[in-house]
């Protein structure tokens, strides 16, 4: 067997293995989606039927008309949107300072800032709860929004993206009389669009899927986000798995839609991160 044939055979085997693993990972999602359109009597049928014999769209109607699900959805949208806007503003400005500005103690400050990534989030729950209690913002959405405004990983990501932009662009703009806010808004951010979209996707995913913080800081059912609300909805739906899967499917729609919209930039940002020069 020639070297070319060996390479072709290796690629075929690799493709088969990757395809099989992809099916294994995507099957639970397909089952969830299929179950959400089934009648309860057909949920546990064996062998598993991904295409329902009878389609039941009433599950989705029930989710939005006979439960608190719409309120959970609006709460998640409110918290996530506010958190993302604030986080992107703060992280991009901090990343610009670390990537483009020269000031005393920059490396030490950045190192200390990165070292906070080693602290598990669970360790900070009690101090945050005490601090928020003193500020009287527990059981409010502020308790979820404020910690999300500061992202060490977001600063690290955007700093690396900004450093890939040739510094000569900044120097040329500065010589032409542009101020740092102008350079940041009109030069750096447009050139960093792939990285910005990646930061947006990661921030949205983290905030939308956050479970522990709403569980700890919120006690009013009307303030619950989707993650905690979905658990309450599951308790109310009891063993109605078709109804539960409909709620779970609806909760994933924004994530899937955003990923489909940003996947081009997401892949492009990681591809460019591997280019040096």
Domain positions in the chain: 65-273
Give pLDDT, residue 78: 92
- Give the mean pLDDT of the chain: 84
Kindly state the tokens that stand for 66: 């006979």
Q: How many CB atoms lie within 10 A of CB 54?
A: 9
Q: For domain 65-273, is the CATH number 1.20.1300.10?
A: no
Give pLDDT, residue 276: 43
CB 164 within 8 A of CB 273: yes
d(CA 124, CA 84): 21
Kindly state the tokens that stand for 85: 């806007």
Condensed to tens digits (0 to 9), the pLDDT of residues 220-256 reads 888 899 888 888 877 776 777 888 888 888 888 888 8
pTM above 0.85, yes or no: no
CB 183 within 8 A of CB 167: no
Contacts 24+ apart (CB under 8 A), 177-184: 180/96, 180/100, 180/101, 183/100, 184/92, 184/93, 184/96
SS3 66: coil
Calculate mean pLDDT across residues 185-198: 86
Residues with Cβ within 8 Å of residue 32, at least 6 apart in sequence: 245, 248, 249
What percent of the chain clears pLDDT 90, i.e. is strictly above it? 11
The pLDDT of residue 37 is above 90: no
Condensed to tens digits (0 to 9), the pLDDT of residues 83-115 reads 999 999 999 999 999 988 888 888 888 888 888
Calculate mean pLDDT across residues 126-144: 89
d(CA 18, CA 12): 10
The pLDDT of residue 51 is above 70: yes
Calculate mean pLDDT across residues 2-17: 82
N residues, the chain: 277
The pLDDT of residue 268 is above 70: no
Give pLDDT, residue 277: 38
d(CA 244, CA 100): 49
């Amino acid at each position: 067997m020639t070297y070319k044939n060996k390479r072709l055979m290796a690629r075929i085997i690799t493709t088969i293995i990757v395809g099989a693993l992809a099916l294994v990972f995507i099957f639970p999602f397909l089952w969830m989606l299929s179950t959400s359109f089934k009648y309860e009597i057909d949920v546990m049928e064996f062998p598993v039927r991904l295409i329902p014999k009878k389609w039941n769209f009433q599950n989705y109607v029930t989710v939005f008309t006979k439960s608190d699900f719409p309120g959970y959805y609006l709460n998640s949208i409110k918290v996530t949107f506010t958190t993302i806007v604030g986080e992107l503003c703060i992280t991009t400005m901090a990343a610009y300072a670390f990537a483009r500005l020269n000031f005393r103690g920059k490396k030490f400050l950045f190192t200390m800032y990165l070292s906070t990534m080693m602290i598990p989030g669970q360790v900070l729950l009690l101090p945050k709860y005490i601090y928020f209690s003193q500020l009287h913002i527990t059981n409010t959405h502020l308790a979820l929004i404020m910690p999300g405004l500061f992202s060490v990983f977001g600063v690290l990501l955007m700093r690396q993206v900004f450093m890939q932009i040739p510094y000569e662009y900044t120097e040329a703009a500065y010589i032409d009389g542009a101020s740092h806010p102008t350079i940041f808004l009109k030069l750096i951010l447009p050139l960093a669009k792939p990285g910005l979209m990646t930061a947006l996707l990661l921030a949205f995913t983290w905030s939308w899927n956050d479970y522990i913080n709403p569980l700890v800081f919120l006690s009013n059912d009307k303030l619950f986000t989707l993650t905690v609300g979905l658990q309450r909805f599951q308790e109310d739906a009891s063993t109605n798995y078709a109804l539960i899967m409909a709620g779970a499917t609806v909760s994933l729609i924004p994530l899937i839609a955003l990923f489909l919209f940003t996947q081009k930039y997401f892949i492009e940002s990681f591809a460019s991160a591997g280019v040096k020069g």
